[in-house]
């Protein structure tokens, strides 16, 4: 009767525990589901925020492109093609569409219509500037299309450039506000997740106290009862039939284990003197071991190389008590090289009777892979060394060409003019005053030409503006001189009124990089218009060189490292890295090239 009541009580207890267990599981499941719903909702919002920030950044880029296209069309107003005008119209249309989507929301892009008061205020502030640029650009395009009032376009260009800087500043504030609000959302989500996490931990704690702990006690009682029952059963298991069955099962298990070892492991049992006691089937197949070679030592079966045999015998002799593990190379009967990861374990069978258990792993493929990796590393190092040799030879070649050019300029230009000056001075006859006056006037003109030639040569070597006034003045002078010399339209804009002086080494490298980029645009790209823009922030100086040349395929140039153009780009990268800067090269065949130098301040 007591036993029956105990069973009923146990059933009731387990039912209650089961209910509590399911309740706890459902609570955790609901918590996880709610957490996932909240996370997915916030992730969707963050995705929308990232799209908005991306479009906002794109708006800044489009405003710069509008300013660039307007500048180019203004300088070629008489030759402006309908294709160029249509391209600018498309940019303006995309710009207006994006701005409208940002300001008023877009169901297609997933932009919300509602905005925070701060963003609404910023959009109210930027709207007049945006409208001014759009209106001015439309009027500019109308003048180009109708070929009327082209003289007014210069004023329109100034208005666009003035408002473009304000627009960029306001868009930066808008992007910063979007970023700030996104950060606040993430912070709020993190706090909610902490609360959910704390609640989940509380549920788990309560589950442990009221479910798992009581269940554990019940299980312990059941196990103790089972152990007691097992002891009683063992006392009754000494029956012959039961013992025989157990023995048969054990033999089957041993056979299965032996079969698995024979066909999966490379193992062998050997005596301390190196003779083979037993060798697994898989190991025997690998070594071509047969009953005809049963009288051979383990080292003789393992490899045909005598040096390796001596080494293996030495290891067996020295390490038979302590064991050994390492990699060995063997050569089989077919002269194939095999690498084994071999472990030798001493096993005491009986008192004073020792065996060695050999377990191996075939690592031949891994060794081949390691050799291939080493070969590729060597090839890569050789390629880098060859590339550096090419760079060094090109540098020396360029230095020699520059020295020859300077020597030729001095010899053919300045040298000949000095020789003419000397002969003219020697031929002056002071008695004939009229001829002497004519020669003196000629000598004055010749002296001015000599001075101009000397200045040109020294300017090419090291412009005095660079050491006297800094990088802005030297780039201004460079663009003016090259524009006069080549007849190209080369313009320079100091967009942020940068006037700082930098380290002389940094300034000369910036100057040479800019000079190289402009020369490439003139020489290779066949550009008619080149725009150099300089801007800066607290930590970065940026120089952008845009041209309307024929462009190039960057990947194709990278493959042709030995070509002059390919080496020019490589020299740029080497020089910019020397001053801890970065260079970005974007080129579209048929449209032009943009080179950006970013130098930390």
Q: What is the CATH number of the domain that holds 195?
A: 1.20.120.1730
Same-domain check for residues 430 and 484: no
CATH number at residue 474: 3.30.565.10
Q: Does the CA dihedral 406-408-412-415 come out positive or negative?
A: positive
Give the residue from 485, 495, 498, 487 showing the smallest Cα distance to 71: 495
What pTM does this model have? 0.34
Give the residue from 51, 53, 58 showing the smallest Cα distance to 107: 51
pLDDT digits (tens, 9 = 90+) for 42-73: 666 666 667 777 887 788 788 888 888 888 87
225-234, 316-325, 328-337, 520-529 — which is least confidently predicted?
A: 225-234
Same-domain check for residues 154 and 16: yes
Same-domain check for residues 70 and 166: yes
- As a whole number, mean pLDDT of residues 193-212 equals 80
46-72 burial by CB neighbour count: b if 16+ within 10 A, else e?
Answer: eeebeebbebbeebbebbbbbbbbbbb
Angle at 292 between CA 287 and CA 298, to 5 degrees: 45
- As a whole number, mean pLDDT of residues 538-556 equals 88
- As a whole number, mean pLDDT of residues 420-445 equals 73
Considering 426, 461, 496, which residue would you say is the last residue of a domain?
461
pLDDT at 325: 87
pLDDT at 533: 95
The answer to whether residues 59 and 102 touch, using CB atoms and an 8 Å cutoff, is yes
Q: Is residue 290 part of a domain?
A: yes
pLDDT at 393: 57
Q: 455 or 525: whose pLDDT is higher?
A: 525
The answer to whether residues 482 and 488 touch, using CB atoms and an 8 Å cutoff, is yes
105-114, 262-271, 401-410 — which is least confidently predicted?
A: 401-410
Same-domain check for residues 181 and 43: yes
The answer to whether residues 216 and 19 touch, using CB atoms and an 8 Å cutoff, is no
pLDDT at 597 over 90: yes
H/E stretch holding 528 reads none
Q: 445 or 488: whose pLDDT is higher?
A: 488
Give the residue from 481, 408, 416, 474 showing the smallest Cα distance to 449: 416
Instruction: Kindly state the tokens that stand for 461.
Output: 């070597």
Same-domain check for residues 325 and 213: no
The answer to whether residues 59 and 99 touch, using CB atoms and an 8 Å cutoff, is yes
pLDDT at 123: 81
Same-domain check for residues 312 and 441: no
pLDDT at 541 over 90: yes
Considering 362, 380, 401, which residue would you say is the last residue of a domain?
362
pLDDT digits (tens, 9 = 90+) for 210-258: 777 777 777 778 777 778 777 776 777 666 667 667 766 665 665 555 5
Considering 409, 433, 461, which residue would you say is the last residue of a domain?
461
Q: Is residue 30 part of a domain?
A: yes
pLDDT class of 525 with cuts at 50, 70, 90: confident
pLDDT at 468 over 90: no
Give the residue from 577, 569, 561, 563 showing the smallest Cα distance to 545: 569
User: DSSP string covering 370-385, please?
Assistant: HHHHHHHHHHHHHHHH
Q: What is the mean pLDDT of the chain?
A: 78
Q: Is residue 230 part of a domain?
A: no
Q: Does the CA dihedral 437-441-444-449 come out positive or negative?
A: negative
Same-domain check for residues 410 and 491: no
The answer to whether residues 569 and 562 touch, using CB atoms and an 8 Å cutoff, is no
Query: Number of structural domains, the chain?
Result: 4
CATH number at residue 312: 3.30.450.20
pLDDT at 361 over 80: yes
pLDDT at 411 over 60: no
Q: Is residue 198 part of a domain?
A: yes
Residue with tokens 């710069």: 64
Backbone angles phi, psi at 567, to 5 degrees: -70, -30
Q: Is residue 38 part of a domain?
A: yes
Q: 520 or 457: whose pLDDT is higher?
A: 520
Same-domain check for residues 394 and 317: no
User: DSSP string covering 147-216, please?
Assistant: T--GGGHHHHHHHHHHHHHHHHHHHHHHHHHHHHHHHHHHHHHHHHHHHHHHHHHHHHHHHIIIIIHHHH
pLDDT at 454: 65
47-61, 255-269, 271-285, 483-497 — which is least confidently predicted?
A: 255-269
pLDDT digits (tens, 9 = 90+) for 293-322: 667 788 888 888 888 888 888 888 888 888
pLDDT at 532: 95
pLDDT at 565 over 60: no
3-class secondary-structure state, position 599 = strand
Same-domain check for residues 537 and 486: yes
- β-bridge pairing 592-600 and 324-331: unpaired
- As a whole number, mean pLDDT of residues 337-352 equals 81
- Beta-carbon contacts of residue 230 (< 8 Å; ≥ 6 apart): none
pLDDT at 17: 67
Count of residues in the chain: 601
Same-domain check for residues 428 and 452: yes
The answer to whether residues 502 and 470 touch, using CB atoms and an 8 Å cutoff, is yes
- Residues 239 and 252: their CA atoms lie apart, in Å, by 21
Cβ-based neighbour number of residue 95 at 10 Å: 22
Domain that holds residue 475: 468-600
Instruction: Kindly state the tokens that stand for 167.
Output: 């627009």
Cβ-based neighbour number of residue 228 at 10 Å: 10
pLDDT at 82: 75
What share of the chain in percent tops pLDDT 70?
76
Using CA atoms in the order 186, 188, 190, 194, what is the torsion angle rounded to 10 degrees? -170
Q: Is residue 450 part of a domain?
A: yes
- Residues 317 and 404: their CA atoms lie apart, in Å, by 76
Q: Is residue 252 part of a domain?
A: no
Same-domain check for residues 406 and 438: yes
283-307 burial by CB neighbour count: b if 16+ within 10 A, else e?
Answer: bbebbebeeeeeeebbbbbbbeeee
Q: Is residue 246 part of a domain?
A: no
What share of the chain in percent tops pLDDT 90?
9
Same-domain check for residues 357 and 452: no
- Residues 132 and 172: their CA atoms lie apart, in Å, by 18
């Amino acid at each position: 009767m007591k036993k029956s009541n105990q069973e009923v009580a146990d059933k009731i207890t387990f039912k209650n525990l089961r209910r509590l267990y399911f309740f706890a599981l459902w609570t955790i499941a609901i918590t996880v589901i709610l957490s996932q719903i909240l996370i997915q909702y916030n992730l969707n919002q963050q995705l929308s925020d990232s799209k908005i920030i991306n479009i906002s950044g794109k708006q800044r880029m489009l405003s710069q492109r509008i300013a660039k296209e307007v500048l180019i069309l203004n300088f070629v107003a008489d030759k402006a093609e309908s294709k160029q005008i249509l391209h600018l119209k498309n940019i303006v249309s995309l710009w207006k569409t994006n701005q409208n989507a940002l300001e008023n929301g877009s169901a297609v892009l997933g932009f919300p219509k509602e905005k925070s008061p701060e963003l609404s205020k910023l959009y109210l502030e930027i709207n007049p500037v945006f409208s001014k640029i759009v209106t001015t650009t439309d009027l500019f395009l109308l003048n180009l299309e109708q070929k009327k009032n082209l003289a007014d376009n210069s004023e329109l260009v100034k208005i666009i450039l003035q408002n473009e800087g304000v627009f960029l500043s306001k868009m930066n504030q808008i992007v910063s506000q979007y970023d700030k609000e996104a950060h606040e959302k993430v912070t709020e989500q993190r706090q909610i997740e902490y609360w959910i996490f704390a609640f989940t931990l509380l549920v788990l704690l309560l589950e442990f106290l009221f479910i798992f702990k009581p269940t554990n006690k019940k299980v312990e009682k059941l196990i103790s009862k089972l152990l007691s029952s097992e002891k009683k059963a063992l006392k009754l298991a000494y029956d012959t039939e039961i013992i025989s069955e157990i023995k048969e099962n054990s033999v089957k298990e041993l056979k299965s284990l032996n079969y698995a070892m024979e066909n999966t492991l490379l193992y062998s049992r050997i005596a301390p003197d190196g003779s083979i006691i037993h060798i697994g089937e898989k190991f025997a197949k690998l070594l071509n071991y047969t009953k005809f070679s049963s009288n051979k030592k383990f080292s003789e079966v393992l490899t045909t190389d005598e040096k390796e045999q001596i080494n293996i015998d030495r290891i067996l002799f020295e390490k038979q008590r302590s064991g050994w593990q390492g990699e060995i190379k063997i050569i089989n009967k077919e002269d194939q090289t095999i690498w084994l990861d071999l472990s030798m374990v001493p096993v005491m069978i009986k008192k004073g009777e020792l065996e060695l258990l050999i377990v191996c792993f075939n690592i031949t493929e891994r060794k081949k892979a390691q050799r291939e990796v080493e070969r590729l590393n060597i090839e890569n190092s050789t390629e880098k060394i060859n590339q550096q040799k090419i760079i060094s030879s090109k540098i020396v070649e360029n230095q020699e060409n520059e020295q020859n050019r300077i020597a030729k300029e001095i010899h053919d230009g300045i040298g000949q003019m000095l020789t003419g000056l000397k002969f003219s001075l020697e031929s002056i006859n002071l008695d004939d005053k009229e001829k002497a006056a004519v020669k003196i006037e000629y000598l004055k003109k010749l002296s001015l030409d000599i001075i101009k030639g000397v200045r040109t040569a020294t300017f090419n070597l090291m412009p005095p503006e660079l050491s006297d006034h800094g990088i802005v003045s030297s780039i201004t002078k460079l663009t003016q001189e090259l524009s006069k010399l080549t007849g190209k339209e080369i313009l320079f804009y100091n967009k942020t009124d940068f006037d700082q002086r930098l380290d002389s080494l940094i300034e000369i490298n910036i100057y040479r990089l800019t000079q190289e980029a402009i020369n490439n645009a003139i020489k290779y790209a066949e550009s008619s218009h080149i725009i150099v823009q300089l801007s800066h922030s607290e930590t970065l100086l940026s120089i952008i060189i845009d041209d309307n040349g024929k462009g190039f395929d960057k990947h194709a140039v990278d493959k042709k490292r030995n070509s002059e153009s390919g080496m020019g780009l490589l020299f740029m990268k080497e020089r910019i890295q020397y001053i801890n800067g970065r260079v970005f090269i974007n080129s579209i065949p048929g449209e032009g090239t943009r080179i950006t130098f970013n130098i930390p301040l």
